Chain A
């Protein structure tokens, strides 16, 4: 059974139908990517699945539970976490306090010390800057912090919305390496990216989103090889 199953999801902003009934699923242990151009509905998909914006139709099932109408904070407690577009770390809190916020949904705080040490090992830069105000971090460091903060809640499903946006090519490679790493440690990943080449390379499966509809799906390598994806998203 799929960990996340989205069926005929529809979202409207006023009269505009941003999502026209999309269906996709994510199996346990997979990396699944949604690719698509600006305005295709990627972020809308992510935000409506996690309950940040309301859905106008369709059904979302997570880990066997119907979460179509569940509020966001409860979904997070069920084990779905999202690194939002633009990172949205808490600018006025320190790096450490941000990680603390990431563990907000964990009731048992006994593993906190280990978790935070694991984050500092994975992201040495965060360890160096643990007491620094997060708003003063560079873009790359903020992305690391946003990812570290998300992992603190031990998600079953980690959703990442454009994690490579605005980063230098070197950092982009690093971010994709980390995503692969997190996945290897047993976390299922749903990724949204404009960087189709890099994300398809690490994905088990992928979907192409255009104007609020899914127009193509397949394995990462199939899509990377497909004529249409190469023309539209890989520059040739």
Chain B
């Protein structure tokens, strides 16, 4: 029982992190119709910014700086690398995104070296929760991700900018005819996605306090998987896919016999879901124009 509970909480918090990253993928895809494969590396950048500003011994300042820096970075990447390719073939955009990903990883390696850096943001212990030993960092992660997801849902549903985002994701041309500045909405989307990635970087450091220049690579791919499982372009889908993947991963790690195959199991789930339901759980079928 205790084992189940602690595994579940682990899974939920890991899933929360995946969901946060997946939201960045899915929102950018929904609005700019591109896969931003450099998104995972923003997590790594966020981690390094926290590492640098932890020199001040002020974790809140470090987190704030990470969010600010990642937001600016996300906007700059969009303006410099992706905006000139608007209307270009999706393949060109995809290759550019992969290029940006390698650029960020290499820059981090040049600046910080290839050895991993240690950074402890907060000293959390563990607590007894209904008899189970639970990491406090997991609970914090879970709580923050839930708050973030609620805020994001309300933002999209209830604000003028949020509705404009829905409009742009559905029909860019019609959105323009409403007077919506599509470029501005895309910028806002990249800013939101990057701030979530910065927070994800924080949560990774809470889980394991080491950072390398490839920190974001695997979480990026996992979160992308989560976004596709949930239905790429769908915000609740990204949340669902992220949580699902996190729980599967946590359970799989606890079972000794299959633990080494955890990644393989997760990506197999992706393949199976793509075979059975190509649009993902909550993805919509592309409506053909009548």
Interface residues of A (CB under 8 A from B): 50-52, 71-73, 76-77, 81-82, 84, 86, 88-93, 97, 100-102, 104-105, 135, 149, 153, 166
Residues in A neighbouring B170, C-beta threshold 8 A? 90-93
Given contact pairs A97-B163, A101-B167, A73 touches B180 in the complex (Cβ within 8 A): yes
Given contact pairs A90-B166, A91-B287, A92-B166, A105 touches B179 in the complex (Cβ within 8 A): yes
Residues in A neighbouring B181, C-beta threshold 8 A? 71, 73
B176 within 8 A of A: yes
Binary interface profile of B, 151-174, with partner A (CB < 8 Å = 1, else 0)? 000000000100110110011011
Contact A104 B173 (CB under 8 A): no
Residues in B neighbouring A73, C-beta threshold 8 A? 176, 179-182
B255 within 8 A of A: no
Nearest 7 A-B pairs (CB), nearest first? A105-B179, A76-B179, A88-B174, A72-B176, A104-B178, A73-B181, A101-B178
Residues in B neighbouring A81, C-beta threshold 8 A? 177
- Point out which of B167, B176, B181, B284 has the most chain A C-beta atoms below 10 A from its C-beta: B176
Given contact pairs A90-B166, A97-B163, A105 touches B173 in the complex (Cβ within 8 A): no
Cα separation A92 to B286 with both chains bound (whole Å): 12
B159 to chain A: closest CB distance in Å?
11
Residues in B neighbouring A100, C-beta threshold 8 A? 163
Q: In the complex, which residue of chain B has the Cβ closest to the Cβ of A76? A: B179
Interface residues of B (CB under 8 A from A): 160, 163-164, 166-167, 170-171, 173-182, 284, 287, 289-290
A210 to chain B: closest CB distance in Å?
26
Q: Among A71, A88, A149, which residue has its beta carbon within 8 angstroms of that of B171? A: A88
Cα separation A193 to B114 with both chains bound (whole Å): 65
Contact A52 B177 (CB under 8 A): yes
Contact A88 B173 (CB under 8 A): yes
24 A-B residue contacts at CB 8 Å?
Answer: A50-B177, A52-B176, A52-B177, A72-B177, A73-B179, A76-B176, A77-B179, A81-B177, A82-B177, A84-B177, A86-B290, A88-B173, A88-B174, A90-B170, A91-B287, A97-B163, A100-B163, A101-B163, A101-B175, A104-B178, A105-B179, A149-B178, A153-B178, A153-B179
Cα separation A101 to B287 with both chains bound (whole Å): 21
Count contacts between A and B, CB distance < 8 Å. Answer: 67
Cα separation A88 to B175 with both chains bound (whole Å): 9
Q: In the complex, which residue of chain B has the Cβ closest to the Cβ of A152? A: B178
Cα separation A2 to B206 with both chains bound (whole Å): 65
A51 to chain B: closest CB distance in Å?
8
Interface SS of chain B: helix, strand, loop or mixed? helix
Q: Among B177, B182, B289, which residue has its beta carbon within 8 angstroms of that of A86? A: B289
- Point out which of A71, A73, A89, A105 has the most chain B C-beta atoms below 10 A from its C-beta: A73
- Point out which of A51, A81, A92, A93 has the most chain B C-beta atoms below 10 A from its C-beta: A92
Cα separation A89 to B178 with both chains bound (whole Å): 11
Cα separation A135 to B179 with both chains bound (whole Å): 21
Given contact pairs A76-B179, A105-B178, A105-B179, A90 touches B173 in the complex (Cβ within 8 A): no
Residues in B neighbouring A71, C-beta threshold 8 A? 176, 181
B140 to chain A: closest CB distance in Å?
35
- Point out which of A77, A86, A101, A105 has the most chain B C-beta atoms below 10 A from its C-beta: A101
Residues in A neighbouring B289, C-beta threshold 8 A? 86
Residues in A neighbouring B175, C-beta threshold 8 A? 101
Residues in B neighbouring A102, C-beta threshold 8 A? 178
Cα separation A104 to B167 with both chains bound (whole Å): 11
Residues in B neighbouring A149, C-beta threshold 8 A? 178
Contact B166 A93 (CB under 8 A): yes
B33 to chain A: closest CB distance in Å?
16
Contact A104 B180 (CB under 8 A): yes
Contact B176 A90 (CB under 8 A): no
Residues in B neighbouring A88, C-beta threshold 8 A? 171, 173-174, 177
B283 to chain A: closest CB distance in Å?
12
Cα separation A50 to B171 with both chains bound (whole Å): 16
B188 to chain A: closest CB distance in Å?
14
Q: In the complex, which residue of chain A has the Cβ closest to the Cβ of B169? A: A92
Residues in B neighbouring A97, C-beta threshold 8 A? 163
Q: In the complex, which residue of chain A has the Cβ closest to the Cβ of B172? A: A52
Residues in B neighbouring A104, C-beta threshold 8 A? 160, 163-164, 167, 178-180
Cα separation A65 to B181 with both chains bound (whole Å): 20
Residues in A neighbouring B167, C-beta threshold 8 A? 90, 93, 101, 104
Residues in A neighbouring B173, C-beta threshold 8 A? 52, 84, 88
Cα separation A86 to B166 with both chains bound (whole Å): 19
Residues in A neighbouring B284, C-beta threshold 8 A? 92
Cα separation A91 to B166 with both chains bound (whole Å): 11
- Point out which of B174, B287, B290 has the most chain A C-beta atoms below 10 A from its C-beta: B174
